[in-house]
Amino acid sequence: MSHVLRIKDQPASERPRERLAAKGPGALTDAELIAILLRTGLRGANAVEVGAQLLKKFGSLQSLARASVDDLQKVKGIGRDKAVTLLAAFTLARKMAEELQRESPVLDNPEAVVALLKGQNLVKEVETLQVLLLNTRRRLIRVEEIADGTVDTLLVHAREVFKAAISANASAIVLAHNHPSGDPTPSEADVKVTRDLIRAGQLLKIDVLDHVILGRATPERAKDYASLRELGYFYS
């Protein structure tokens, strides 16, 4: 009979919990970090192996974060309590991203926009337009989600965007949306909507500073976003 090496059977220095305390979270794999959440009681299974199975089944942390309690329980070794623990952990991560929004960062460059929105956009399965409402110092007032689209289509009207900006007394806005495919290259529709909103903003004296499309970096594409201003689609 094969013997399953549980975490508690490992030398203390090799256990994920002790390694994290000694070396920091960067020293652990994703599967080991998940194992710490799963802890014990896996009925003979190794928690790290179960973590690896979760990642294999769902394909990525983003997909794992979107999984329901029922979906998680389909993986051998994951019962209701452990599924709830994982769901709570990912929910806390999203809430932390939302909390960062309330700290009023300065959003005068696309990298700052991406840093603010990346976490919550990774788990979105359809395109969602977000409008960042800014004050005169380019600090965030709040983020408004204006419209949800299909997987690759987003429809938006200027009145929806600027109604939120006017009600917040915003002096400028930044548009942002995600491409679930991971490729942030703007479509013709993205460019047209952006230029329409720039013109509407000029009439209302509310600056449209940028339109940032969030995607994912690849070995061939270093950036995980596209800025329409940087790409030259904004009028001077």
Per-residue confidence (pLDDT) for residue 158, from 0 to 100: 86
Q: Which residues contact 85 (CB under 8 A, 6 or more apart)?
A: 37, 38
Q: What is the pLDDT of residues 192-222, one digit of tens each?
A: 889 999 999 999 999 999 999 998 888 888 8
Which residue do the tokens 């952006």 mark?
A: 194
Q: Given a cut of 70, is residue 42 above it in pLDDT?
A: no
**Long-range contacts from 191-194, C-beta under 8 angstroms, 24+ separation:** 191/228, 191/233, 193/154, 193/156, 194/228, 194/233, 194/234
- Under the banding of pLDDT at 50, 70 and 90, the label for residue 45 is low
Instruction: Check residue 10 and give its pLDDT.
Output: 59
More confident residue, 100 or 45: 100
Q: What angle do CA 147, 156, 160 make, to 5 degrees?
A: 80
pLDDT at 5 over 50: no
Q: pTM above the 0.95 mark?
A: no
Q: Average pLDDT for residues 58-75, to the nearest whole number?
A: 89
Q: What is the mean pLDDT of residues 10-38?
A: 81
What value does the mean pLDDT take over residues 109-114? 93
Share of the chain above pLDDT 90, in %: 36
Q: What is the mean pLDDT of residues 151-171?
A: 81
User: Is pLDDT of 151 > 50?
Assistant: no
